[in-house]
Chains A and B, each alone.
Chain A
Amino acid sequence: EAGVTQFPSHSVIEKGQTVTLRCDPISGHDNLYWYRRVMGKEIKFLLHFVKESKQDESGMPNNRFLAERTGGTYSTLKVQPAELEDSGVYFCASSQVMGVGYTFGSGTRLTVV
């Protein structure tokens, strides 16, 4: 079975630009999560989708971040406009049952310069 796929694997953008990260979960996994790790800090939760609905978006840092999961398949996370403090690794994970059996993607390393 294919794993969780994220792309791009790396992205370098200038402050003020827009970047869109994509996550393809494992087929059939209704639960999709976004996490991120900024330099020197812990991995932190951003939000959780159940199918196409946002179950919990309490971790989204501000309104520059927009996540979507149209049709309940792949998800995108857009950062607009990007700021220097947005640099880090963004992880996506999916699971069949909420909270267990996570499969994580390899992450997208975002660098804002």
Chain B
Amino acid sequence: KQEVTQIPAALSVPEGENLVLNCSFTDSAIYNLQWFRQDPGKGLTSLLLIQSSQREQTSGRLNASLDKSSGRSTLYIAASQPGDSATYLCAVRRGSSASKIIFGSGTRLSIRP
């Protein structure tokens, strides 16, 4: 049974710092991994999707890496801004025919001005 874990559960850093959010999963047989962002009272927004054959994806100040063999992914945020404050979730999909994605419990990030 796939389990996705995100540590830490909460993180507070001053503006301008670079930071790393961690995600681990127990079953390395994944099809892809996604990072989402959720703002309070809002839906989830997909940030980055990494296919199992890829090592990383970049979008602006965000970089996500994937090490499938060790069951780990990281989301790197460069030069953090107060607007980056949100809950960040990672989720894995087992196969191309799988309907569901399995979420971690998220990291609540707060960027202090």
Chain A residues within 8 Å of B, Cβ to Cβ: 3-4, 33, 35, 41-45, 47-48, 55-56, 58-59, 91, 93, 98-107
Contacts and interface: CB of A to CB of B under 8 A. Distances in A.
Contact of B89 (A33, A43, A44, A48): A43
24 contacts: A35-B103, A41-B105, A42-B4, A42-B103, A42-B106, A43-B89, A43-B91, A44-B103, A45-B102, A47-B99, A48-B99, A56-B100, A93-B43, A98-B99, A99-B99, A99-B101, A100-B49, A102-B34, A102-B44, A102-B101, A103-B43, A104-B45, A106-B42, A106-B43
Contacts of B100: 33, 45, 48, 56, 58-59
A55 B41 CA distance: 29
B-side interface size class: 20 to 34
Contact of A33 (B34, B99, B105): B99
B33 to A, nearest CB: 12
Interface of B: 4, 31-32, 34, 36, 41-46, 49, 89, 91, 93, 96, 98-106
A106 B41 contact: yes
A105 to B, nearest CB: 5
Contact of A45 (B4, B42, B99): B99
A48 B96 CA distance: 14
A91 B93 contact: no
A102 B99 contact: no
Contacts of B41: 106
